[in-house]
Amino acid sequence: MEKHVFKVGDMNCNGCVASIRQGLEADKRVESIDIQLSKKQVTVAGDLTTEETAEIITNAGFHPEQSTEKKGFLGSLFSS
């Protein structure tokens, strides 16, 4: 299972969140979705590549940028 984190700068409201979530939930390879509107961040876990995940978000009408956030437990300790 891969985990992908994206910054989505043009995600501005709960309607945007719903559109992104709907697009991601339609793909059976997606196992979990965490969308934080305040951080403009989308985290997706599943059997998708980074490119496939970005394409789903793009198809929902947004412009994802892969985040440089560190992953895993140690990453969460050191991220700001």
- Residue 24, pLDDT > 80, answer yes
- Residue 78, pLDDT > 90, answer no
pLDDT tens digits, 61-77: 999 999 865 455 444 44
Distance CA 50, CA 44 (A): 9
Residue 3 CB coordination number (10 Å): 15
Could you give the percent of the chain with pLDDT greater than 90? 80
**Which residues are CB-neighbours of 80 under 8 A, at least 6 positions away?**
none
> DSSP secondary-structure letter at 39?
G
Domains of the chain: 2-78 (3.30.70.100)
Mean pLDDT score, 21-45: 97
What is the per-residue pLDDT for 61? 97
**Which residues are CB-neighbours of 67 under 8 A, at least 6 positions away?**
5, 6, 7, 41
